[in-house]
Structure 1
Amino acid sequence: MQHVVVAGRYRLVELVGRGGMGRVWRALDEVLHREVAVKEVLPPHWLSESEGDDLRRRTLREARTAARLNHPNVVRVYDVVRVGGHPWIVMEYVPSRTLQAVLDDDGPLDPVRAAGVGRALLAALRAAHTANVLHRDVKPQNVLVRQDGQIMLTDFGLATFDGEDGVLTRPGMVLGSPQFVAPERAAQGVSSVEADLWSLGATLYAAVEGRPPYARGTAMATLAALANDPPDPAPHAGPLAPVLAGLLCRDPRRRIGHDEADRRLVAVERDPEPSDEAEPTTVLRIERPPPPPPWPGAPRPSATGPRTTSPAAPWPFGAPGPSHAVVPGPFPADPPSPSARRGSEPDPAPRDAAEPADDPASAAPPTGDDPASGRARHWIRRGPWRWGWW
């Protein structure tokens, strides 16, 4: 193929890919002296002539739009030329393997690595959607894994499909792999941002499970499952399960968007293995209030000995009031008569004159008989820390 030059500029060197929508060549740009990838767009033979013409026009229009994208995770489109009635798409050449080839050769990815792939693809889709460009065919075959590990998304807006997985439905034209096409797009043929995000979820599902979420034997069986069944379980998704659940939601109105998908993918990369340990229990020290002051006349606890409690003294005159307390002394067996008391001693001093200081520590009331009159005396509490004779 050294002699084939497309548009007088791109010399075809090697065939590197083939699919239901055309062929991809490694070529040499003889003007800028750089390697490029040239895709020859060939509509399937089973399309009508009018449908084929419409596909060619749409491919040219969307390729020109995709050429405006400049993102590190997007394979850039350099040029669009028309040769022999067929469009040729000139793109950046990326030495790489497709994600599908990686899965076939090395097996499924672990959830953390798949989350990294998902973040790169999500960034590429966000850049495209911001520029009003829809991919329409996100799948492992269109994800390139460079030799340095960088992830790149190719075939923006080209609506390609491979082999027998291709499907065409009405209303509208839906070209793509049914195993990676959103349910609403398969049913109605309408492309949208939400449909691209669903295809991203299906691609990440395949990355961890090794197969798409609707792995059926035929395209018709896959379409029937898309219309009626939920996605197959993902037993190997691990921490990636919330991402898959949000992106593969059947209702596009409830499907997560760019921001929420990125937040969940970041969470997988930062904390890939949620801890099963319970949160530590915090013990708070509660300070007990100080004990109440000792009852007047009660014995004080020893500094070294155990705390003792004096027995309650009998209350001879009914229950004490709320603000009065009486500490009785011993009663004489035969108290003297009032006349004897008046004749032998003067009247006692007023109650307040004998009141002790308000310090409870020094307010131990005296008890016992008056040595002069022989009568029993009682110390009565008349208020807080106020005591008097009774």
Structure 2
Amino acid sequence: MVEAPASILAGRFRLVRVVGSGGFGTVWLATERGERRVAVKILNREHAADPELVARFEREAQLGGNVDHPNVVRVLGHGRHDGRPFMAMEWVEGQTLRRVLDRRGPLPPHEAATIARQVLAGLAEIHRRGVLLLDIKPGNIMIGGTGPTAKIVDFGAACRLGEPYLFRGDQALGTPAYMAPEQRAGETVGPETDLYAVGVVLFEMLTGRLPRDAGDDLGPAVPPDLAAVVRRALASDPAARFRSAAAMARAIEQAALPLAPIEDTDQRPVVHRPAPQLRRAPSRWLEDLDAELASAMRSVERLSEGFDRVASTIGGWAGLAAAIVIVLLLLVLIQRGVVGAGP
């Protein structure tokens, strides 16, 4: 049973009901001064005496509080109440991507691409702030709100770029199935490490399963250009992956997918502009061009034949006229005795 703390935290957040709980904390639906709804995460009492867990919790609140982006759940405030640290976050009506996938299975490519691009937009801002998440997975992506919109949540394993990342015992914090090879090995991590995790999430959205390796086949239903994006994101060598979240998002956009709204029967869809397409397919266009060139050549041939006939006609009349002139000239000379008619 979850132990309820005082009903009002920091004189600002009134707790309403529990909406989720984990191994270290409990999430409550609350209201801020009786007005907007917020989510309040409170460290469980038995863990509040652990300095390491308290430091990690407060670190999560601080790093998350520095990011303000439509695709990241905002941290609105944090502090301590009754000796227990807490953080208040933006409330999102909806469900995690994990629950969406469990309920629906693989998503259509255009929908998976839309979610991935939104996650990458939020991730680009997080990286711009000098923070690495190191735990991107469907359970840490909310689908909901106005739109609906994909939002990144949970900075529990995050660290600042260039700083050592957190470990639990001899293992790095995070979820092994979504960890890049360098993160699992405890080596240097960077933005490419988070992009690997996005690649795993995109693979799972498209196929309904986790990838076995970077060359794992996504199946014929996935457009080849989108499959190439996934394979590059899953490269074992960080240098072979995309250099930034924005670059990966552009690659998805250039995959020529007709982007569509995220399907959610409880939310009003966002209208996305379809990707521009050729008015005619390239093969049909080439066929039409060949036909037009052949028609033009036939026209040239007909003109050439016409010119030949005209030239032949002119040549014939000229020869006859020359013969007549010669005969008349001979008659005149004979009459004048210049040319003899005979001996």
Same topology, TM > 0.5: yes
Distance 1:272 1:207 in 2: 24
SS in 1 for 2:41: strand
SS in 2 for 1:70: coil
1:258 paired with 2:245, answer yes
Aligned twin of 1:234: 218
Shift of 1:104: 1.2
Aligned twin of 2:133: 135
Aligned twin of 1:299: 316
1:22 paired with 2:28, answer no
Distance 2:46 2:236 in 1: 30
Unaligned ranges ≥5, structure 2: 159-166, 260-273
Q: Do the aligned partners of 2:124 and 2:246 also contact (CA within 8 Å) in 1? A: no
Aligned twin of 1:307: none
Shift of 1:78: 1.1
Shift of 1:54: 4.5
Shift of 1:211: 2.1
Structure showing greater relative contact order (alpha-carbon pairs closer than 8 Å, 6 or more residues apart): 2
Distance 1:231 1:11, change over 3 A: farther
SS in 2 for 1:176: coil
Q: Do the aligned partners of 1:99 and 1:143 also contact (CA within 8 Å) in 2? A: yes
Map residues 54-69 of structure 1 onto 2, 5 A cutoff.
54=52, 56-69=54-67
Distance 1:297 1:273 in 2: 55
* Greater fraction of residues in helix: 2
Map residues 1-390 of structure 1 onto 2, 5 A cutoff.
1=4, 3-7=6-10, 9-29=12-32, 31=33, 33-41=35-43, 53-54=51-52, 56-82=54-80, 87-146=85-144, 148-159=146-157, 168=168, 174-214=172-212, 229-230=213-214, 232-235=216-219, 238-239=222-223, 240-256=226-242, 257-266=244-253, 267-268=256-257, 269=259, 270=274, 278-280=283-285, 281=287, 282=289, 283-284=292-293, 285-286=296-297, 287=300, 291=307, 294=311, 298-299=315-316, 364=322, 370=330, 372=334, 373=339
Distance 2:326 2:247 in 1: 83
Deviations 1:31-82 (A, max 9, x none): 464322122346999xxx9xx6455434423421321222111110012224
SS in 2 for 1:197: helix
Shift of 1:203: 1.1
Distance 1:296 1:99, change over 3 A: closer
Aligned twin of 2:265: none
SS in 2 for 1:191: coil
Distance 1:210 1:145 in 2: 17
Shift of 1:103: 1.3
Unaligned ranges ≥5, structure 1: 161-166, 215-228, 301-359, 376-390
Shift of 1:116: 1.2
Distance 1:248 1:9, change over 3 A: same
Greater CA radius of gyration, 1 or 2?
1
SS in 1 for 2:284: coil
Q: Do the aligned partners of 1:2 and 1:13 also contact (CA within 8 Å) in 2? A: no
Q: Do the aligned partners of 2:71 and 2:149 also contact (CA within 8 Å) in 1? A: yes
Q: TM-score, normalised by structure 1?
A: 0.62
Give the paired residue count.
Answer: 288
Q: Do the aligned partners of 2:60 and 2:155 also contact (CA within 8 Å) in 1? A: yes
Distance 1:65 1:168, change over 3 A: closer
The share of aligned pairs that are identical, in percent, is: 33
